[in-house]
Amino acid sequence: MPPELEQTLALMTSHRSVLGYLLITRIIFEGEQGRRYAAVVSRIVEVVQAGLWEVQGEDGDEVRFMRIRTKRHEIMISPDDRYILAVLHDPGS
């Protein structure tokens, strides 16, 4: 992993409201819940990208960043060709 990415992830996880992050196969989240989040986030990115291609054609736009807010959490997703970075955040803290 590039040092600048490692540094960014360390800085990001130092915030008390960050509950964890997912980076491709590197899951910094405990157990089964981390695996579930990884599977769901991957599907979300695939479905949103497929929707964009359906509307605009495959030469259309690409997903760069998504922010999903629920009652309890916020999930920020940044897909890349090499990985998907997803951060689970507690906006109340």
pLDDT in tens, 75-89: 899 888 878 888 888
CA distance 77 to 79: 6
| C-alpha–C-alpha distance, residues 61 and 74, integer Å | 24
**Measured CA angle at 69 (ends 80, 29), to 5 deg:** 60
* β-sheet bridge partners, residue 21: 28, 87
Per-residue model confidence (pLDDT) at position 28: 59
Total structural domains in the chain? Answer: 1
Range of the domain at 56: 17-89
pLDDT digits (tens, 9 = 90+) for 29-70: 667 877 788 888 889 999 999 998 999 887 878 888 999 999
Asked whether residue 1 is domain-assigned, the answer is: no
Task: Specify if 7 maps to a domain.
Answer: no
Whether 9 is covered by a domain: the verdict is no
* Alpha carbon separation from 35 to 14, 69, 79 (Å, rounded): 22, 20, 17
| 52 occurs within a structural domain | yes
CA 91/CA 83 separation, integer angstroms: 24
What digits encode the pLDDT tens for the residues 19-32? 887 775 455 566 78
In a domain, 4, yes or no: no
Which pTM was predicted? 0.71
Residue 55 domain flag: yes
Q: Are 44 and 22 in contact (CB under 8 A)?
A: no
Extended beta strands in 3-83, E state: 18-23, 26-28, 66-69, 74-79
Task: Identify the CATH number of the domain in which residue 55 sits.
Answer: 3.30.450.30
